Amino acid sequence: MGVIVAWAIPIGALGAGAAWLLLTLIGLITNAVFGGRLSATTVSPGQLHAPWWVVLVAPVVGGLIVGLMARYGSEKIRGHGMPEALEAILFKRSVVEAKVAVLKPTSAAISIGTGGPFGAEGPIIMTGGALGSLVAQRLTLTDDERKALMVAGAAAGMAATFDAPLASVLLAVELLLFEWRPRSFLPVTAAVVVATLLRGPLLGSGPLFGLDTTRWGVGALADGLSVGIGLLGGLLAVAVTALVYRSEDTFELLRGRLHWMWWPAIGGLIIGIGGLIVPRALGVGYDVIGDLLSGHAALSLIVGILVVKSLIWGLSLGSGTSGGVLAPTFMIGAALGALAGFVLPPVGPGFWALVGLAATVGGVMRSPLTGVVFPLELTHAWSALLPLLVASATAYGVSVLLLRRSVLTEKIARRGGHLSREYAVDPLSVRFVDEVMLPVPDDGEGRPRLRVAADGTLVGVVRRSGEVVTDPVTLGPDDTLVDARHRLLTAGVTAAPVVGTGGELVGTATLEALLAQSPTVAGASRTSASAAGTT
């Protein structure tokens, strides 16, 4: 484990570098397209007051370029990145192609820089994950170790993008790792810490949307009313998730008539029309999120974001373009809360917008703890912890009750995969070798042929060829079955002798006997995976 943690440190640095590069590219393209200037400053297209024809045409051109890159580069760059990262982890042994690490951030920068209403977090998760995977592929590692380094790169990119280390670790646990074990938690944490430290010199430090909470009067009434915001956030999550996949279904009707390469350009046209109606709905929109959370957004902007941003984001994402879901979720969730704040008792500037943001993240992402911690780290509004927890958990419950799958996992299900929605304990991790070992070794089928000294200690294992292996793979009687399984599979053997603390032979254990203890073995599908997290 120490070796994997050590490798996670440079991967964390790579993830931070990828985040800086992606945000710089987005800034360069946005300023060039909508402002006609050379600058890498983070700015929204709506702030640059471009001519109407630029607002309309730029997203179409951007979508066309992304479609060409997907067709002739890699189809893996289509979509918002998280389903592709999940697929790589679950079904492709955490192996990602090298070209994805280049094409994904480039395509996302083009899509967002030409007005796409997307976030940078999905692409950076896929890019950081690809970098971690590429490093891991150069090493002799197990699938679990490679997964840990891939997720470490993804979480590092998130931490550097948002300066939210704890939320990035939680996101990794709730959405990518499918486990909470030292073997993966520690490498991810190491990478996130390094990326967060590097964010300062690369992108600046401090909360992305710092709020003044000194005038907030958070109390029991606000906590109780947060249940209502959670209900609204859950319903909004259901609506936008349905919108994304209804849009995807509609575009699929074009298959056979129009190649999917052209679909992002159609999505770009939808974006351009929406940009003419509400210019500030274009791009990542950190400035809009800031206005919503500070209480400076007018009612017209709030309604425009809630309606137009949701529509152009959901409809264009279904076209297969490149961009993330988290920043748009932040924006429409904050708009929902800000709108509700007009009728709810005042607590403080931006309070209800923050609660709406947490609720919508918890409902859309199906990651309720991330839905609490992310807003807190983005704003440092720690006094809002309890209402955010109430709202996020409520929205999560609504989403689970009304939707079978989340916006992140529906695509995987449509491709034939499956994710469990609950944490589960591997039954092999709570049982021991001495419970399943064969106490009397013999030469029966599936058991090793053993050579034992007169004092009962193991000398070696006799192969079928007659060769004596003097350093065979051995197990201890108090080894857990999950460790025994891992050791046998890594060594490529189906049975091993069980040796006591004094070196004496006490039995043999077979892989068949180990796997027979797991209820998930029978009827298991190649395209199913147990996810120790939420969907």
In a shared domain, residues 113 and 178: yes
In a shared domain, residues 339 and 384: yes
In a shared domain, residues 335 and 414: yes
Enumerate residues 6+ apart whose C-beta is below 8 A from 328.
Answer: 117, 118, 119, 285, 309, 313
In a shared domain, residues 348 and 431: no
Enumerate residues 6+ apart whose C-beta is below 8 A from 201.
Answer: none
Length of the chain: 535
> Would residue 526 count as lying in a domain?
no
Q: How is the beta sheet containing 449-452 ordered, strand by strand?
A: 449-452, 458-462, 468-469
Query: 496: domain CATH number?
Result: 3.10.580.10
In a shared domain, residues 386 and 431: no
> Would residue 522 count as lying in a domain?
no
From residue 447, how far is each of 304, 360, 437, 460, 517 by CA, in Å?
70, 55, 10, 13, 18
Kind and range of the H or E run holding 178: none
> Would residue 531 count as lying in a domain?
no
> Which of 374, 402, 419 is the endpoint of a domain?
419
Of residues 68, 76, 80, the one with CA closest to residue 96: 76
Predicted TM-score (pTM) above 0.75: yes
From residue 169, how far is each of 70, 77, 156, 177, 294 by CA, in Å?
30, 24, 9, 10, 27
Q: How many CB atoms lie within 10 A of CB 459?
A: 13
Per-residue pLDDT of the chain (535 residues; tens, 9 = 90+): 788 899 999 999 999 999 999 999 999 999 999 999 999 888 889 889 899 999 999 999 999 999 999 899 888 778 766 666 666 776 666 777 778 878 888 988 999 999 988 887 778 888 888 888 888 888 877 778 888 888 899 899 999 988 999 999 988 888 787 777 888 899 999 999 999 999 989 888 888 888 888 888 888 999 999 999 999 999 999 999 889 888 988 998 998 889 999 999 999 999 999 999 999 999 888 899 999 999 889 999 999 999 999 999 989 988 888 777 888 999 999 999 999 999 999 999 999 999 999 999 999 888 889 889 999 999 999 999 999 999 999 999 999 899 877 766 666 666 665 555 555 566 777 788 888 888 755 554 445 667 767 776 777 777 666 677 777 788 888 888 888 888 888 878 888 888 888 777 888 888 888 777 765 443 443 334 444 333 3
Enumerate residues 6+ apart whose C-beta is below 8 A from 491.
Answer: 473
In a shared domain, residues 306 and 414: yes
DSSP labels for 421-481?
SS----GGGGSBGGGT-BSS--S-TTS-EEEE-TTSBEEEEE-TTS-EESS---B-TTSBH
DSSP labels for 181-218?
-HHHHHHHHHHHHHHHHHHHHHH--S-TT----TT---
> Which of 419, 447, 467 is the endpoint of a domain?
419
DSSP labels for 292-360?
HHHT---HHHHHHIIIIIHHHHHHHHTTT-B-BSHHHHHHHHHHHHHHHTTTSPP-STTHHHHHHHHHH
From residue 270, how far is each of 17, 58, 106, 309 by CA, in Å?
33, 11, 22, 11
How many domains would you assign to the chain? 3
In a shared domain, residues 332 and 293: yes
> Would residue 529 count as lying in a domain?
no
Distance CA 39, CA 60 (A): 22
> Which of 378, 396, 419 is the endpoint of a domain?
419
Domain that holds residue 323: 220-419
Instruction: Report pLDDT digits (tens) over 28-71.
Output: 999 999 999 999 888 889 889 899 999 999 999 999 999 999 89
Instruction: Report pLDDT digits (tens) over 361-402.
Output: 999 888 889 889 999 999 999 999 999 999 999 999 999 899
Written as one letter, the residue type at 327 is: A
Query: 87: domain CATH number?
Result: 1.10.3080.10
